[in-house]
Amino acid sequence: MMGASRTTSWAWWEVGLFFGLPLGLLLLSYGAIAAEAGTAWPWMAFVHESGDKTLLDTLLYYDHAARELPVDVALGVAAAAGLLAHGYRPRPVSGGLKWALAAGWLATLLLIAGGTVAKVGWQGLADNLAQLFTRPGTPPSWGAHFRYHFLSRGGLVLTAWWLPGMLRWLSSGPAQRRSPRPYLAALALFAGLTLLYGPSLEPFVHPHFLGHQAREAVTHALVTLPLCLGVALLLAQRGPAAERKWPAGLPPKALLMVAALSAVMVIWTGVGAMLTGASDERQTDSVVAIVFVHFFEHGLGYIFTPLFAGWLFCLKTPAR
């Protein structure tokens, strides 16, 4: 068994990337909301872009969280699988910790489902899981909400593979056996969801879809994915931070190619949104409502997805 120094050492930039960045952005967003609302406690102020939700309503937006479950599950699976595919292995953990992780994401899942049922009923829960809804005023359509996220979440699913690969390249710790199988399973899940909810060109060309995906890409690239990888890495066997130095040469070509592909997918959401005039379709002119409040719209997902990813990562580890 590895010593404690090989399981707890973190470089300062790793702490900043996986925890400081997302938590700092949430604090910044709260400060921006408080400043616009004119109070240090804006929880009961109507701040959502729709104009009908307080900050607390936005944080506990149960039916929206239910719609997000398919793409959140896909990202959680990809984060755990990306680490495993690049040779990261979970350290032996207690059965109690595994149960705590499972209890955490299951409790959040039940909260999302129960809150949705209380708000819109069982049929409403089924409709949200069917991905029928996108934005107010648009007719329900099977799988529309998944397509509302296809490019942005697909780009992040790819990032969940190349980013751990870059971390492994930077690491001079003990080599671990790599296998593409875990990540291929994650790709198969995302492909299956795409087929289930119906592929279309909407994510590539429709201004509503492009504008929404651009914002989603920012939110989940800067908060959800770092938290997923950070929680899983807390459970991983790792060498001391002093050993992890920038290596000579370039990263492997496969990592660079996948990173470029994911970047193109995400960048197109922003470029396409500008070219198609998506900004003219926004529900409000408030930058705070459009950008900073949106970070809180995914609050339940910030709990569910990282705990789910961490649980998956250490699921098959022998109990200590």
**pLDDT computed for residue 6 by the predictor:** 46
Q: Quick one: angle between helices 299-313 and 62-85, nearest 10? A: 30
pLDDT digits (tens, 9 = 90+) for 271-308: 999 998 877 667 677 889 989 999 999 999 999 999 99
In a domain, 11, yes or no: no
Residue 4: its pLDDT value, please?
40
Return phi, psi of residue 112, to 5°. Answer: -65, -50
Nearest in space to 176 (alpha carbons), one of 236, 88, 79: 88
**Among 219, 254, 283, 258, CA closest to 51:** 283
- The answer to whether residue 28 is domain-embedded is no
DSSP structural state of residue 289: I
- Domain-embedded: residue 40: no
Tokens 């939110």 sit at which residue? 219
Those residues with Cβ within 8 angstroms of residue 31's Cβ, 6 or more apart along the chain or in another chain: none
Residue 293: helix, strand or coil by DSSP? helix
Domain count, the chain: 1
| Residue in 12, 20, 9 with CA at minimum distance from that of residue 226 | 20
**Two tokens, residue 119:** 């708000």
Match 């990337």 to its residue by tokens: 17
% of the chain surpassing 90 pLDDT: 72
Give the span between the Cα atoms of 286 and 14, in whole angstroms: 33
**Residue 43 is assigned to a structural domain of this protein:** no
Q: Whole-angstrom Cα distance, residue 116 to residue 56? A: 15
- Domain residues for 115? 59-244+252-313
Enumerate residue ranges in the chain where pLDDT < 70: 1-8, 172-177, 240-246, 248, 280-281, 283, 317-320
Give the residue among 254, 304, 319, 260 at the shortest CA–CA distance from 66. Answer: 304
* Half-sphere exposure for 117 (CA within 13 Å, toward CB): 7
- Give the pLDDT score at 258: 96
In a domain, 44, yes or no: no
230 phi, psi to nearest 5 deg: -65, -45
Q: What is the DSSP letter of 318?
A: P
CB 58 within 8 A of CB 69: no
Whether 210 maps to a domain, the answer reads yes
| The predicted structure's pLDDT at residue 248 | 65
The pLDDT value recorded for residue 113 is 98
Q: Are 281 and 209 in contact (CB under 8 A)?
A: no
Distance, in Å, from the CA atom of 13 to the CA atom of 187, rounded to the nearest integer, reads 29
CA angle (303 as vertex; 232, 150 as ends), nearest 5: 85
The verdict on residue 45 lying in a domain is: no
In a domain, 54, yes or no: no
CA 69 to chain centroid, in Å, comes to: 11
